[in-house]
Amino acid sequence: MDVAISGSSGLIGTALIAELERGGHRVIRLVRPASKPAPDGIRWDPEKGMVDAAGLEGVGAVIHLAGVPIGDRRWTPSYKEAIVHSRVVGTDLLARTVAGLRTPPSVFASASAVGYYGNRGEEVLTETSGPGVGFRTDVCSAWEGAAAPAEEAGIRLVILRSGNVLTKLGGVLPYMLIPFRLGLGAKFGDGSQWFPWVCLEDEVGAIVHSLTHPEISGPVNICAPQAVRNAEFTKALGRALHRPTPWRAPKFALAVIAGKERADEVLLGSQRIEPAVLNTTGYTFHDPELEPALRGIVAAS
């Protein structure tokens, strides 16, 4: 199958391309004008509303992953605007483009995040759970809504609601490794909040599974089946690194470091996510349990 991917040079896109190519699929990268030309590349520029629609004719699937990071910087008003803009504009452009093709793809898979559910405490959250409140919920709701034109055109739409992707190559984990290796690993607040996680292999595996199982449509929670609290995660990472984790980062300190809104939503927010769609459609997790996954990640060269 020919698969077109935006965000192909990012953390998930790079790993996904390698997996798709191993599976015999041909990958077509959507590349921006300033990017290095790529073989089989399709030019697109969301800011100018431009995409080479002819290059998308007849592809089997389109996967949209592009968007600026949401969790690694303070949420200033300008950066919050950039977060929303980078997601909604590109998604709307691609969704409307594939909807207007003579030979559209059979599936349009668009990235989102479990931030859609907001801070929900002890509630078990499946794909049928409604949205929460807060900035991340607003971002994800607008992001997912921008993909609607594809579904309205009869294309199978898959919304990839990802948790925290664990890998040494990027995402949240590299920020944690240095303090934890120094023996400064700490739980956030009282550590009781649920922490939705997934290893990179399963992030990629779940996306491929969603593409190749036509019974899947709508949102898909991409999280490991073993839910853990922040305190459990802290202890498991400390054990994987053979370091103690006796510390606690109080709420006020997190608010000073990260900004109150980001601290409340990202560091202290609780999301007990269940990957119900993946479970019911037979996906087999590469890393279903946290501590063995962390040990494998930190031991990898």
72 pLDDT higher than 90: no
Q: Which residues, 6 or more positions from 65, have their beta carbon under 8 angstroms from its beta carbon?
A: 5, 6, 7, 8, 10, 12, 13, 16, 111
Can you spell out the DSSP letters for 65-111? -----SSSS---HHHHHHHHHHHHHHHHHHHHHHHT-SS--SEEEEE
Using DSSP's 3-state secondary structure scheme, residue 235 falls into helix
Q: How far is CA 253 from the centre of its chain?
A: 27
> What is the average pLDDT value for the chain, to the nearest integer?
94
Per residue in 135-173, pLDDT tens? Answer: 999 999 999 999 999 999 999 999 999 999 999 998 889
For residue 37, pLDDT over 80 is answered with no
- Using CA atoms, how far apart are residues 121 and 194, in angstroms rounded to an integer? 7
pTM over 0.75: yes
pLDDT at position 301 over 60:
no
Task: Tell which phi-psi region holds residue 79, choosing left (phi > 0), alpha (psi between -120 and 50) or beta.
Answer: alpha
Q: Which residue has the higher pLDDT, 147 or 68?
A: 147
pLDDT of residue 34: 67
What's the pLDDT score for residue 69? 80
Lowest mean pLDDT among 20-29, 71-80, 186-195: 71-80
> Taking 70 as the threshold, does the pLDDT of residue 39 lie above it?
no
DSSP per position, 187-227: EETTS-SEE-EEEHHHHHHHHHHHHH-TT--EEEEE--SS-
Q: What are the CB-based long-range contacts (under 8 Å, 24+) for 295-299?
A: 295/240, 297/166, 297/167, 297/168, 297/173, 297/199, 297/240, 298/168, 298/177, 298/240, 298/241
At 291 the pLDDT is 96
Which pLDDT score is estimated for 66? 81
The candidate with the shortest Cα–Cα distance to 11, out of 79, 85, 68, is 68
Q: Sketch the domain layout of the chain as residue ranges.
A: 2-163+198-223+273-286
Q: Which CATH architecture has domain 2-163+198-223+273-286?
A: 3-Layer(aba) Sandwich (3.40)
Read off the pLDDT band of 36 (50, 70, 90): low
Which residues are within 8 A (CB) of 61 and not within 5 positions of it... i.e. 6 or more apart?
A: 1, 2, 3, 4, 105, 106, 107, 108, 109, 211
